[in-house]
Amino acid sequence: MRLWGKVAIVTGAGCGFGEGIAEGFAAEGASVLVNDLRGDQAERRHGGDRQSRRPGSAGRADVGERTGFQRLVGEAIAAFGRLDVVFNNAGVTHPNGPMLQVDEASFDRVFAVNVKAIYWSAMAAVPVFRNQGGGSFITTIASTAALRPRPASPGTTAARGRW
């Protein structure tokens, strides 16, 4: 129980990597605020590790917006009285297709969730960490897409599918 008494927010925790991360934190004793934009997924996971009986909570917030992270941090403090870890796991992508067909709104959304959310998390959590004498961010998460590009669009060559 290496995380007993710690409180963590895990974003994008309704499924996949985030779900596993939240389960691992709960198994190690942490109280976890499970966040996912899909509230039903967050609710499904909100109890953390039921066997350890560690408290958990679900949050549905858009981490690509300042108010989303402000709300998550407020919910963690209200539910558990403190915040020790912010695990920035949430990520989105645009539909697969040629790069020149990615519209600006899709690009802005990807940037907001995958990059700017780290900034929003710091803006919301650093004051809390300072007041309580410490805390941690975990923000270096990547998918296998960094090593294995997505397949090309149907009817195109691999190179032409991305350019």
- CATH of the domain spanning 7-143+150-162, picked from 3.40.50.720, 3.40.50.2300, 2.120.10.70, 3.10.50.40: 3.40.50.720
CA–CA dist 89, 15 (Å, integer): 11
Q: For residue 44, what pLDDT is reported? A: 61
The angle, 0 to 180 degrees and rounded to 10, between the axes of the packed helices 66-80 and 117-132 is: 30
Residues 84 and 135: beta-carbon distance below 8 Å:
yes
Residues 48 and 6: beta-carbon distance below 8 Å:
no
Structural element, H or E, at residue 17: helix 16-27
Q: For residue 7, what pLDDT is reported? A: 96
Of residues 40 and 1, more confidently modeled: 1
31 forms bridges with which residues in the sheet? 7
DSSP assignment letter at 10 = E
The whole-model pTM stands at: 0.80
